[in-house]
Structure 1
């Protein structure tokens, strides 16, 4: 079979699912632990931030017909492995060939100035970090996703690579992985920070420390609601007799 035959060949959903299951079984038989993307229903992403990621990534496409194919692939279990690391996503996508295609997506790290801006915003929204820890991206930090050049990478800040023969920048396998990233973000919004080269634990630690420093810096500030020691003694009759 030539590469063109492979590229234009069509599979039924059942064939695709069976190939994906077979690839997973073979990997397990070789002692490899894969992390497949599981989409429980027709809706790929359930959260507002996962959906926002998918809408943003759809602007990267160069051939529109790759998107519906990518959605079909991720819904039917073709993304048999997807790992998100610092500035990098590695994935395996089952296609018409017996061997899964290898997909790599690289995202540029935020510059120091942008990292500082993100950290400052998080410091102002300390209560919102509790939602992040609970697995929810707070609406109060939505600007981090909607502002250009923040956590959503621009087209210039993201690079795709797939081992398939398709000439499109975003082939159907890459599209499937991009939707799969949305599923992972549903599960853990901290991946937004990891993708942009930020350490979530360090971000949390810095935010809390910064908040504590601000509280300590105002510890001697007078407030009309604070009762002076002398007045407290009079109020509760604590004067020495």
Structure 2
């Protein structure tokens, strides 16, 4: 039963990534090495973010100041996630091919590295336990939401970096892109205000990712029609 639960969790995490790579068509462009490169950029970016957080917020966990100061501190810490946008931009520029191939390759490589770093140890240590626990299934489902989020983010970065993007589309793409670093902060604040459970928070994150993804897809389609 333990092995069966562990295998189900692995399939739930990694099967959607494999299917996205295999059936999206980017495998025909021999982009596996570029996916690995995007994953390497993710790891490098996270190390840089950790260095920034340790340098400018060394005692942030021990602060006992008022609520307003804590909120401002969390916003500043979330602003560090702008480095992710820079990392995705560098990954997009290193990938040859058409726009959709660049976006999907960067998103799959970036999201795959995030899953390997943040989920592998959790599953190996926790999902192999003797008792079934829904939190591991929830963590696996969150990785699929992350893939959609990163695909939308990569599309928005690609759109904002285009010099031929129509002016009426730029404010929409830029507005959505600037909200990306604060996505988790906003979702957690809403969940706390509404008293949402962990599963309800997951559904809210999935709906949010789907909404941003559809908006990015609409902007990409409008750009391609120009």
TM-score, scaled to structure 2: 0.28
**Which protein shows a greater Rg?**
1
Structure having the higher strand fraction is 1
Length-normalised TM-score, structure 1: 0.27
